[in-house]
């Protein structure tokens, strides 16, 4: 079948039932208690990262303190995420991390987070599109990856399971 896919025009090929992916890594980031800033474009909730851990078959290290997730909660209740930070691999390479995404929480989600609860993966729609960049020759392969993150949120922490689209 792969020989056919290489020769047929795109729109003559069968549709994918699932996109081909590969697990890149899991990322856990601990967060400071956010402040809430009402603005004309929505409620701004900057979450400052305290640090975290990245684990994967080809990529592991620390998520460095000082990252920020600039969350804007719109009138529609949807949170729009803009995350920026840096990773230091276990062998010392620095990698820039940037991600956009959206979060749709259950109606009681924010109240539950305020009480210290975890919002299980199946209860939320929290998806991100991470981008990695580095000039370290050992890791330049990350620069052109297309990634998607499935996320889980709890009080003081966000977890990412990051996949590479093949």
- The bridge status of strand 125-133 relative to strand 94-104 is antiparallel
The structural domains of the chain, with segments of one domain joined by +, span 32-165
- Cβ-in-10-Å burial (0-12, 13-18, 19+) of 52 comes to buried
* CATH number for the domain formed by residue range(s) 32-165: 2.40.160.20
Tens-digit pLDDT profile for residues 10-50: 899 889 899 999 999 999 999 999 999 999 999 999 999 99
Q: Is the overall model pTM greater than 0.85, yes or no?
A: yes
């Amino acid at each position: 079948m792969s020989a056919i896919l290489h020769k047929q025009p795109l729109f003559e090929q069968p549709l994918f039932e699932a996109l081909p992916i590969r697990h890149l890594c899991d990322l856990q980031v601990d967060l400071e208690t956010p402040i809430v800033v009402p603005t004309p474009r929505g409620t701004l909730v900057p979450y400052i990262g305290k640090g975290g851990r990245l684990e994967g078959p080809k990529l592991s290290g620390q998520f460095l303190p000082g990252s920020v997730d600039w969350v804007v909660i719109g009138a529609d209740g949807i949170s729009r995420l803009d995350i920026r930070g840096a990773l230091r691999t276990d062998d010392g390479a620095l990698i820039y991390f940037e991600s956009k995404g959206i979060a749709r929480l259950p109606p009681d989600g924010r109240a539950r987070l305020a009480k210290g609860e975890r919002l299980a993966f199946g209860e939320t729609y929290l998806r991100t599109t991470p981008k990695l960049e580095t000039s370290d020759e050992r890791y330049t392969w990350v620069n052109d990856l297309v990634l998607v993150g499935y996320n889980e949120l709890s009080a003081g922490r966000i977890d990412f399971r990051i996949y590479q689209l093949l």
